[in-house]
């Protein structure tokens, strides 16, 4: 294989209560790259992340991590795969009764037989990486939201993961702090060669850290392309964009956060139908219809 693929989703379908929340997802992530997953609220970003980390199984399709299908894997094998990735979810999810030091040490104590002095060095390296070594003895309640996020990252790094998953890493942070988190993600990728998968709807952040970007729309993967591709689309003038497909214009509107465009037209159309025809379940009347690229 020419490129080392660490995550591979093939025709993945996930349903909740009979409704397809993800519908035929294909996505491959290469070792060492930063992949952004973006899309509107409810488009299925978090669900895709949870499928990839094995929180639940897809109804159809296959998900491979490090070349092995996690869908047919037993719990024991899955546990060993779990030690190879780290997760940073929105809250940082620290234990409030433990210091930052103890929070980072915990997964190392749980998953390895290392001596206390080796663990001590490991914990200090991780805290230093995120700039929190001098705050090692503080409790989560004593530090700011941005510091909690960084502490969560230090803990996610505890077992030297090959992949890091982030779900909305800058949610709830002020712009400066969220820019610092972006910088940290970039540093970690460069220093440690970590593969990162980042769910975000913050486009400044996405364009800062991405190698490639994947766009979800209503449970379908409508585009997986390089940052440069998206950047070019984003910068098109209104007239230049007029010649592009509805799908490209929809992505452009999302990237720019424009009030007007295909996303809005689709909502208005749905609203009009609702008003004229009465309420329908979501997804029945979506205009204009989008055809996935693959
Ligand atoms: N555990 C669940 N049970 C039922 N529906 C769910 C569950 N998790 C997510 N959903 C639904 O799946 C859709 C996608 O959710 P999610 O992946 O959280 O979207 P995003 O992260 O892009 O905002 C939403 O309509 C959401 O309500
Ligand atoms: Mg989400």
Question: Which of 31, 100, 24 shows the shortest CA–CA distance to 62?
Answer: 24
Share of the chain above pLDDT 70, in %: 90
- Non-local (6+) Cβ contacts of 144 within 8 A are 177
Pocket test for ligand 1, best of 23, 44, 198 (most atoms within 8 A of CB): 44
Residue 44, ligand 1, Cβ within 6 A = yes
- Non-local (6+) Cβ contacts of 161 within 8 A are 83, 84, 85, 86, 194
Instruction: Give distance in angstroms: CA of 47 to centre of ligand 2.
Output: 7
Give the pLDDT band of residue 170 (cuts 50, 70, 90): confident
What's the pLDDT score for residue 287? 46
93-109 residue pLDDT tens = 799 999 999 999 999 99
Query: Mean pLDDT over residues 75-91, rounded?
Result: 88
Query: Mean pLDDT over residues 260-265, rounded?
Result: 87
Residue 41, ligand 1, Cβ within 6 A = yes
Residue 189, ligand 1, Cβ within 6 A = no
Residue 21, ligand 1, Cβ within 6 A = yes
Report whether pLDDT(275) > 90: no
- Non-local (6+) Cβ contacts of 52 within 8 A are 7, 9, 63, 65, 165, 197
Lookup: tokens for 163: 């992949």
Scan for tokens 């190879």, then name that residue. Answer: 84
pTM reported for the whole predicted model: 0.88
Q: Which of 50-54, 130-134, 145-149 is predicted least confidently?
A: 145-149
Print the SS3 string covering 166-216: EECCCCCCCHHHHHHHHHHHHHHHHHHCCEEEEECCCHHHHHHHCCEEEEE
25-39, 72-86, 148-162, 177-191: which has the highest mean pLDDT? 25-39
Instruction: Give distance in angstroms: CA of 3 to centre of ligand 1.
Output: 32
Lookup: tokens for 151: 């502490």
Give the Cα separation of 256 and 89 in Å (integer). Answer: 26
Closest atom, ligand 1, to C-alpha of 216: 22
What's the pLDDT score for residue 264? 86
Q: Check if the beta carbon of residue 162 is closer than 8 Å to that of residue 84.
A: yes
Report whether pLDDT(281) > 50: no
Report whether pLDDT(283) > 50: no
Please give the residue that has the higher pLDDT: either 286 or 28.
Answer: 28
What's the pLDDT score for residue 217? 95
Ligand located closest to 38 CA:
1
3-class secondary-structure state, position 87: strand
Pocket test for ligand 1, best of 20, 47, 202 (most atoms within 8 A of CB): 47
Lookup: tokens for 264: 């809005």
Q: Which domains does the chain have, with CATH numbers?
A: 1-84+195-294 (3.40.50.300)
33-60 residue pLDDT tens = 999 999 999 999 999 999 999 999 999 9
Instruction: Give distance in angstroms: CA of 165 to centre of ligand 2.
Output: 13
What's the pLDDT score for residue 269? 72
Report whether pLDDT(142) > 80: yes
Give the Cα separation of 275 and 266 in Å (integer). Answer: 14
Report whether pLDDT(279) > 70: no
Task: Give bridge partners of residue 119 from the DSSP assignment.
Answer: none
């Amino acid at each position: 294989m020419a490129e080392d693929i660490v995550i591979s989703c093939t025709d993945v379908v996930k349903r909740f209560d009979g409704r397809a929340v993800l519908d035929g997802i294909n996505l491959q992530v290469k070792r060492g790259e930063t992949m952004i997953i973006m899309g509107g609220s409810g488009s299925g970003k978090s669900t895709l992340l949870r499928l990839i980390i094995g929180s639940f199984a897809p109804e159809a399709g296959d998900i491979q991590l490090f070349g092995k299908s996690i869908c047919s894997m037993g719990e024991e094998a899955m546990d060993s795969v779990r030690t190879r990735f780290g997760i940073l979810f929105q809250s940082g999810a620290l234990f409030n009764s433990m210091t930052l030091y103890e929070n980072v040490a915990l997964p190392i104590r749980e998953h390895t037989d290392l001596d206390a002095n080796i663990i001590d060095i490991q914990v200090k390296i991780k805290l230093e990486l995120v700039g929190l070594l001098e705050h090692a003895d503080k409790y989560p309640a004593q530090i700011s939201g941005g510091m909690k996020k960084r502490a969560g990252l230090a803990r996610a790094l505890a077992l030297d993961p090959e992949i890091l998953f982030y779900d909305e890493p800058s949610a709830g942070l002020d712009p400066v702090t969220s820019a610092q988190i972006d910088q940290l993600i970039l540093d970690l990728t460069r220093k440690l060669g970590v593969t990162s998968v980042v769910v975000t709807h913050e486009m400044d952040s996405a364009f800062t850290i991405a190698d490639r970007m994947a766009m979800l729309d209503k449970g379908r993967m409508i585009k997986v392309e390089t940052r440069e591709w998206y950047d070019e689309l984003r910068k098109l003038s209104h007239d230049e964009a007029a010649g592009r497909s509805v799908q490209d214009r929809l992505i452009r509107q999302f990237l720019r956060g424009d009030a007007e465009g295909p996303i809005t037209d689709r909502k208005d159309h749905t609203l009009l139908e609702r008003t004229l025809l009465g309420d329908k379940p979501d997804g029945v009347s979506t205009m204009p219809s989008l055809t996935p690229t693959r």
